[in-house]
């Protein structure tokens, strides 16, 4: 029997049986019951470390995680972006496109849940990549996420200013300062405050989606006085599919493919629910539950919304995709046509909360990835400093400095530069999804190589061995073809090319730069310390579940 240092102390591991520590080992039981045997050690930051276990506070519950995933993916992509999907692909093309990407999201969620349940670390799949693939890859996608989130917050604040202009012409700097202050305040607060804020915002979004879907069906059926029944009229004329760029079946296929590439960014954010795993209560139980339930809710909401939008507005309507204001929302277009103009203000208000919610999530995800990089020595150690209530305040303060980029929106020239910077990380969603799926595939290959049954994982689903490779291939194909329009005759656009492709060489340069400068190697499947991970998992006993005080609406996340 040998002793191996882990994040919370040495684990007694039988070298013959790789998972002996997880199967009622009396030596492991003795060690857990005797705290004096636990000697804190950071284990090179691969597993849950003593630093994050002691300095971060577990304030997020499973309901917070579920609603965090929902709040992160239901936003402008749903309220404003569905019109673009119908315009490019037609009602059926949009429905099929979102169904395909929804299947990819399903695979990503289940892959993330399986790995995060075994390795519930701060930084989530970034740290998983270092453990399962190569420290250099973790460095590359980690800093890409930090950079993307640093820029996404001022972009969301800028969007808030544009949305407020629908109601008022007050100087935008007032809104910029206000939202910078409240975003930083939430970021510095106890993580449960963030969880509760996102919980409320997610409820608002869900209720609005349900309301809009019901309203859309009422309008479609002609129940509103003075309106006619629409039915499937727009599926017949202008038709179920739209010819995009080309003509005939090829043009209809390109329309469907354009919907898929756009749908990816509508679902962006579902992967962020495990970023604060070390700040989550019972992470090995809560994260899988959240992954499973978030997927189901989002697919239902999106598929219903896409279906209803395809019924309400013809794909050739001139206002679809005609700007970044609430006026382009297909729900608003349909409501105004039915004589209900007040819907525009309701949607605008919820979209503003969506934008602020997105900035909060970017702050949480970005700061926790930065904290995780600092644990691994891939960022300055100063970013490990936390408040007495467990918030990495130096990470938050760095992000607060970059929030001032939102003032660039006051100048048209500076705004152009700013959006170019934001565009650099637009493909980061697909890079993140591909990394999550690759982590999962490497985990299963390592389990097989080390003769460990996958059924010993804290959460396991037999089909993920097949869905992860298929979804990984799909992510790579969409990543490489996402900007296909710029390669067609007469459609070259530098901004579109940057949006879809420049992030690829940036990530590769970061990976190769760290790899050659620090001489890292792809981790051998035989040497991935899975025994350590299983042993640490055995140390953390689940706390009893709290009493459900939300029975009337808990179906949303339970």
Residue 546's φ and ψ, nearest 5 degrees, are: -70, 155
Question: pLDDT per residue over 447-504, tens digit each?
Answer: 999 999 998 898 889 999 999 999 999 999 999 998 898 998 888 988 888 888 888 9
Structure tokens that stand for 74 in this block: 């239901």
Compute the distance between CA of residue 301 and CA of residue 291 in angstroms, rounded to an integer: 16
Give me the pLDDT at residue 36, please. Answer: 33
Alpha carbon distance 47, 118 (integer Å): 9
The answer to whether 330 and 239 have CB atoms below 8 angstroms apart is no
- How many CA atoms lie within 13 Å of 314's alpha carbon, on the beta-carbon side? 11
Largest CA distance in the chain: 81
Percent of all residues in the chain with a pLDDT value above 70, rounded to a whole number: 81
Q: Strand, helix or coil at 189? A: coil
**Residue 10: helix, strand or coil by DSSP?**
strand
The two three-digit tokens of residue 346, written as one number: 């309701």
Distance between CA atoms of 97 and 83, rounded to whole angstroms? 13
In tens, the pLDDT along 18-32 reads 444 444 433 333 333
Selecting from 1.20.1740.10, 3.40.50.620, 1.20.120.160, 3.30.230.10, what CATH number does the domain 48-403 have?
1.20.1740.10
How far, CA to CA in Å, does 3 sit from each of 45, 122, 496, 520, 531?
A: 18, 25, 54, 26, 12
Q: Write out the two tokens for 275.
A: 């970023």
DSSP summary character for residue 522? P
Tell me how far apart the alpha carbons of residues 334 and 214 are, in angstroms, rounded to a whole number. Answer: 13
Closest to 310 (Cα-Cα) out of 532, 550, 54, 98: 98
Q: What is the pLDDT along the chain (558 residues), one digit of tens a residue?
A: 333 333 333 333 343 344 444 444 333 333 333 333 333 344 455 666 555 555 566 667 767 777 776 766 676 677 777 888 899 999 999 999 999 998 998 899 899 989 988 888 877 888 899 899 999 999 999 999 998 889 888 888 888 888 888 888 888 889 899 999 999 999 998 888 888 888 888 888 888 888 888 988 999 898 888 788 888 899 998 989 999 998 899 999 999 999 988 788 778 777 777 776 666 777 777 788 777 777 777 777 788 889 999 999 999 888 887 666 677 788 888 888 888 888 888 888 888 888 888 888 889 888 988 988 988 889 999 998 988 888 889 999 999 999 988 888 787 777 677 677 777 777 888 999 999 999 999 999 999 999 999 988 988 899 999 999 999 999 999 999 988 989 988 889 888 888 888 889 999 999 999 999 999 999 999 999 898 888 887 776 555 555 656 565 665 655
**Residue extents of the structural domains in the chain:** 1-41, 48-403
Q: Say if CB 63 and CB 280 are below 8 A apart.
A: no
Res 263: pLDDT = 85
Per-residue H/E/C for 101-125: HHHHHHHHHHHHHHHHHHCCCECCH
What span, in angstroms and rounded, lies between the C-alpha atoms of 105 and 20? 34
pTM score, whole prediction: 0.85
Which pLDDT score, from 0 to 100, does residue 39 have? 33
Using CB atoms within 10 A of its CB, is residue 161 exposed (0-12), middle (13-18) or buried (19+)?
Answer: buried
């Amino acid at each position: 029997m040998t002793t191996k240092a882990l994040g919370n102390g040495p684990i007694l591991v039988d070298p013959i049986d790789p998972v002996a520590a997880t199967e009622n080992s009396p030596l492991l039981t003795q060690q857990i019951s005797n705290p004096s045997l636990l000697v804190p050690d950071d284990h090179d930051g691969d597993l849950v470390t003593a630093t994050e276990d002691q300095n971060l506070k577990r304030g997020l519950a499973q309901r917070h995680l579920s609603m965090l995933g929902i709040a992160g993916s239901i936003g402008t992509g749903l309220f404003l972006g569905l019109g673009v999907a119908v315009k490019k692909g037609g009602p059926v093309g949009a429905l099929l496109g979102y169904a395909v990407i929804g299947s990819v999201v399903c695979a990503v969620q289940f892959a993330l849940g399986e790995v995060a349940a075994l390795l519930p670390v701060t930084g989530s799949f970034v740290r998983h990549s270092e453990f399962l693939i190569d420290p250099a890859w973790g460095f590359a996608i980690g800093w890409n996420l930090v950079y993307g989130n640093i820029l996404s917050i001022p972009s969301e604040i800028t969007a808030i200013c544009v949305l407020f202009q629908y109601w008022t012409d007050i100087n935008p700097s007032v809104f910029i300062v206000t939202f910078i202050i409240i975003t930083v305040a939430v970021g510095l607060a106890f993580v449960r405050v963030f969880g509760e804020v996102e919980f409320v915002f997610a409820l608002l979004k869900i209720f609005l989606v349900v309301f809009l879907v019901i309203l859309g069906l009422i309008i479609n059926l002609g129940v509103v006085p003075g309106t006619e029944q629409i039915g499937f009229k727009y599926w017949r004329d202008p038709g179920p599919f739209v010819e995009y760029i080309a003509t005939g079946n090829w043009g209809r296929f390109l329309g469907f493919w354009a919907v898929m590439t756009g749908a990816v960014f509508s679902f962006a954010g579902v992967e962020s629910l495990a970023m604060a795993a070390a700040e989550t209560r019972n992470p090995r139980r809560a994260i899988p539950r959240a992954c499973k339930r978030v997927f189901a809710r989002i697919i239902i909401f999106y598929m219903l919304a896409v279906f209803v939008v395809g019924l309400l507005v013809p794909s050739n309507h001139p206002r679809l995709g005609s700007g970044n204001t609430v006026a382009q929302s297909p729900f608003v277009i349909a409501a105004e046509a039915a004589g209900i103009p007040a819907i525009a203000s309701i949607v605008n208000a919820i979209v503003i909360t969506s934008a602020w919610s997105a900035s909060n999530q970017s702050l949480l995800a970005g700061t926790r990835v930065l904290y995780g990089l600092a644990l691994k020595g891939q960022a300055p150690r100063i970013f490990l400093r936390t408040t007495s209530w467990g918030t990495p305040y130096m990470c938050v303060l760095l992000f607060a400095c970059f929030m001032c980029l939102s003032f660039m929106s006051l100048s048209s020239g500076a705004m152009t530069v700013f959006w170019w910077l934001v565009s650099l990380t637009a493909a980061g969603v697909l890079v993140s999804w591909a990394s999550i799926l690759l982590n999962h595939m490497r985990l299963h290959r390592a389990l097989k190589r080390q003769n460990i049954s996958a059924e010993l994982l804290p959460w396991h689903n037999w089909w993920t061995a097949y869905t992860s490779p298929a979804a990984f291939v799909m992510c790579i194909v969409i990543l490489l073809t996402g900007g296909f329009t710029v390669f067609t005759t007469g459609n070259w656009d530098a901004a579109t090319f940057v949006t879809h492709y420049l992030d690829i060489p940036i990530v590769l340069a970061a990976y190769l730069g760290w790899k050659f400068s620090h001489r890292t190697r792809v981790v051998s499947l035989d040497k991935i310390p899975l025994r350590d991970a299983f042993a640490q998992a055995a140390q953390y006993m689940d706390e009893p579940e709290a009493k459900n005080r939300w029975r009337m609406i808990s179906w949303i996340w339970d």
